[in-house]
């Protein structure tokens, strides 16, 4: 059927990564949409689209790759103001250095957050899962061109301050709800099982269930965390004795009881568990049952915990895996393409091309599912969030070559608006 509308745009490229589960690649493909309307009308060969929409404004990149705008599902914008002030190589040493520099790290937040946003756009990221510890990033993120799932973080294990911290969380959550739009989605982050009182966690899980809000948590990032949750001893015992002046601190959960607490959410809202470096088979089975996504942050994991996420175990349990950069306090930049390049080299036992496809799905369709977004796949009805990368020659083994060579998008659309490049 022919449509006559001058507002239709068609973008095409030598290869289109649809980013469905089969990693379908359309040769000489394209997408059609109406300028400013956030729904993909059609995905087909560029030629067919031009027949279907004869009045459309078109652009074709003969050596390019067209794919969904990338999605960084785990980033801390507020922790962007440092170059080299942290101790790496041991999670306890890192956390001590973070606590020591906490105030100075925050610095001039406006510029730091803007820098982080620009870094996302410049590598083709259109959506982020932003973990906000203080709420100081919400206005600038809500006004940015990015699609943002905004995770208000709850933290606090000292019974004496739980009430205050919960009220503080509710205020931040309410403030973020005032900014809610199709590109700014308020959500909830439980910092981690070691740092959050169970009373607060229960309230927050009930709230997320009621609001159908995405919920994120750092989970089993270090061996110290596992030791603490299982035996209430080790690094975290000293940490709480020093910081919270508690004489005999005890963990509120075991790893499994923390996961079980999340079950009311499993058919209501998306659950993201970040890191999962020390999970047992039983816990992985529970994560699968929760219908949760694991977010791995390989560079952060190397620096803080000396370990990479065990991708094979997630495949066995059919758990989707997404990839994020974490914040600059545990990375040297927040460039998601650099994260993919790094991950490609971190798993030498895996088939290279299959790994490349898996990694691309981890920053597109799987990250979209993780955040509850309607993007991340180029299909009719999905949001108009896409990136076009141009290359000086056409790509052999294109998913692999894409990760190796993609630097900056030629064009980036988010919410049916061009946010980078001009066409
Ligand atoms: O994901 C990394 C490492 N694990 C935990 N927390 C953080 C990371 N990057 C920043 N953080 C923040 C976190 O959101 O650091 C604080 C929290 O506000 C840690 S306080 C125990
Ligand atoms: Fe994090």
CATH code of the domain covering residue 393: 2.30.40.10
Nearest-CA residue for ligand 1 atom 14 is 133
Cα 395 to middle of ligand 1, angstroms: 38
Co-location of 28 and 171 in the same domain: no
Cα 241 to middle of ligand 2, angstroms: 24
**Proximal ligand: closest to the CA of 331:** 1
Nearest to 221 by CA among 365, 337, 74: 74
| H-type alpha helices, 234-364 | 235-243, 255-261, 281-289, 298-305, 311-316, 336-346, 352-362
Rg (CA), the chain: 22
Q: What is the pLDDT of residue 1?
A: 54
Co-location of 312 and 173 in the same domain: yes
Number of independent structural domains in the chain:
2
Co-location of 260 and 399 in the same domain: no
Cα 361 to middle of ligand 1, angstroms: 26
The answer to the question of residue 1 being in a domain is no
Q: What is the pLDDT of residue 3?
A: 55
Co-location of 13 and 109 in the same domain: no
The answer to the question of residue 2 being in a domain is no
The answer to the question of residue 256 being in a domain is yes
100 is catalytic: no
Nearest-CA residue for ligand 1 atom 4 is 218
What's the rounded Cα separation, in Å, for the pair 43 and 34? 13
Co-location of 85 and 156 in the same domain: yes
Closest-lying ligand 1 atom to the alpha carbon of residue 192: 5
Evaluate: CB of 326 within 6 angstroms of ligand 1: yes
Co-location of 261 and 144 in the same domain: yes
What's the rounded Cα separation, in Å, for the pair 283 and 352? 28
Cα 232 to middle of ligand 1, angstroms: 20
Cα 123 to middle of ligand 2, angstroms: 20
Nearest-CA residue for ligand 1 atom 1 is 326
Co-location of 56 and 202 in the same domain: no
Co-location of 252 and 393 in the same domain: no
Co-location of 162 and 264 in the same domain: yes
Co-location of 244 and 158 in the same domain: yes
- Are 101 and 86 in contact by the 8 Å Cβ rule? The answer is yes
CATH assignment at residue 140: 3.20.20.140
Evaluate: CB of 79 within 6 angstroms of ligand 1: yes
Residues 6+ apart with CB under 8 A from 292: 262, 266, 270, 271, 272, 273, 319
Per-residue model confidence as pLDDT tens for the chain (423 residues): 555 567 999 999 999 999 999 999 999 999 999 999 999 999 999 999 999 999 999 999 999 999 999 999 999 999 888 668 899 999 999 999 999 887 776 657 899 999 999 999 999 999 999 999 999 999 999 999 999 999 999 999 988 899 999 999 999 999 999 999 999 999 999 999 999 999 999 999 999 999 999 999 999 999 999 999 999 999 999 999 998 888 899 999 999 999 999 999 999 999 999 999 999 999 999 999 999 999 999 999 999 999 999 999 999 999 999 999 999 999 999 999 999 999 999 999 999 999 999 999 999 999 999 999 999 999 999 999 999 999 999 999 999 999 999 999 999 999 999 999 976
Evaluate: CB of 221 within 6 angstroms of ligand 1: yes
Catalytic site residue from 78, 221, 225, 339: 221
Nearest-CA residue for ligand 1 atom 15 is 98
Evaluate: CB of 389 within 6 angstroms of ligand 1: no
The answer to the question of residue 3 being in a domain is no
The answer to the question of residue 283 being in a domain is yes
Q: What is the pLDDT of residue 297?
A: 99
Co-location of 387 and 314 in the same domain: no
Evaluate: CB of 320 within 6 angstroms of ligand 1: no
Q: Residue 337 has which token pair?
A: 């393409």
Closest-lying ligand 1 atom to the alpha carbon of residue 304: 3
The answer to the question of residue 85 being in a domain is yes
Evaluate: CB of 77 within 6 angstroms of ligand 1: no
Co-location of 64 and 78 in the same domain: no
Among 371, 392, 413, give the residue marking a domain's end.
371
**Proximal ligand: closest to the CA of 75:** 2
Q: Residue 389 has which token pair?
A: 């990368």
Positive or negative torsion for Cα 297, 298, 299, 305? positive
Q: What is the pLDDT of residue 81?
A: 80
- Strands (E) in 192-303, as ranges, are 215-219, 271-275, 293-296
Q: What is the span of the domain harbouring residue 19?
A: 8-69+375-421
The answer to the question of residue 114 being in a domain is yes
Closest-lying ligand 1 atom to the alpha carbon of residue 274: 1
What's the rounded Cα separation, in Å, for the pair 114 and 227? 38
Among 348, 371, 394, give the residue marking a domain's end.
371
Which residues crowd ion ligand 2, with CB under 5 Å?
326
Residue where the block lists tokens 């056409």: 394
């Amino acid at each position: 059927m022919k449509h006559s509308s001058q507002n239709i745009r068609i973008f095409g490229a030598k290869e289109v990564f649809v980013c469905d589960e089969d990693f379908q690649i359309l040769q000489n493909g394209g997408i059609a949409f109406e300028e400013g309307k956030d729904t993909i009308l059609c995905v087909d060969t560029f030629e067919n689209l031009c027949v279907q929409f004869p009045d459309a404004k078109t652009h074709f990149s003969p050596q390019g790759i067209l794919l969904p705008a990338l999605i960084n599902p785990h980033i801390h914008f507020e922790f962007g103001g440092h170059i080299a002030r942290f101790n790496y190589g041991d999670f306890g040493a890192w956390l001590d250095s973070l606590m020591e520099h906490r105030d100075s790290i925050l610095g001039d937040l406006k510029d730091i957050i803007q820098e982080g946003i620009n870094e996302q756009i410049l590598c083709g990221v259109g959506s982020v899962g932003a973990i906000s510890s203080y709420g100081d990033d919400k206005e600038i993120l809500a006004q940015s061109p990015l699609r943002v799932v905004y995770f208000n973080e709850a933290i606090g294990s000292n019974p004496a301050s739980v009430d205050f911290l919960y009220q503080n969380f509710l205020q931040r959550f309410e403030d973020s709800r005032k900014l809610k739009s199709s590109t700014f989605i308020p959500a909830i982050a439980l910092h981690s099982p070691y740092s959050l009182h169970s009373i607060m966690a229960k309230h927050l899980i009930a709230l997320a269930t009621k609001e159908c809000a995405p919920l994120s948590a750092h989970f089993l990032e270090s061996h110290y965390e596992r030791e603490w949750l299982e035996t209430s001893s080790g690094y975290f015992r000293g940490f709480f004795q020093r910081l919270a002046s508690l004489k005999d601190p005890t963990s509120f959960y075991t790893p499994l009881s923390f996961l079980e607490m999340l079950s009311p959410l499993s058919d209501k809202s998306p659950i993201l568990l970040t890191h999962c470096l020390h999970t047992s088979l039983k816990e992985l089975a529970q994560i699968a049952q929760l219908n949760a996504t694991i977010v791995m942050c390989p560079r952060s994991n190397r620096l803080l915990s000396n370990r990479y996420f065990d991708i094979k175990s997630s495949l066995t349990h059919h758990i989707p895996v997404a990839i994020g950069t974490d914040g600059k306090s545990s990375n040297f930049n927040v460039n998601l393409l650099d994260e993919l390049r790094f991950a490609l080299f971190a798993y030498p036992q895996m088939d290279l091309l299959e790994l490349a496809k898996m990694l691309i799905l981890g920053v597109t369709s799987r990250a979209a599912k993780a955040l509850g977004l309607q993007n991340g796949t180029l299909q009719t009805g999905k949001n108009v969030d896409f990136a076009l990368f141009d290359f000086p020659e056409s790509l052999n083994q294109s998913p692999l070559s894409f990760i190796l060579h993609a630097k900056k998008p030629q064009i980036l659309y988010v919410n049916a608006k061009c946010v980078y490049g001009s066409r």
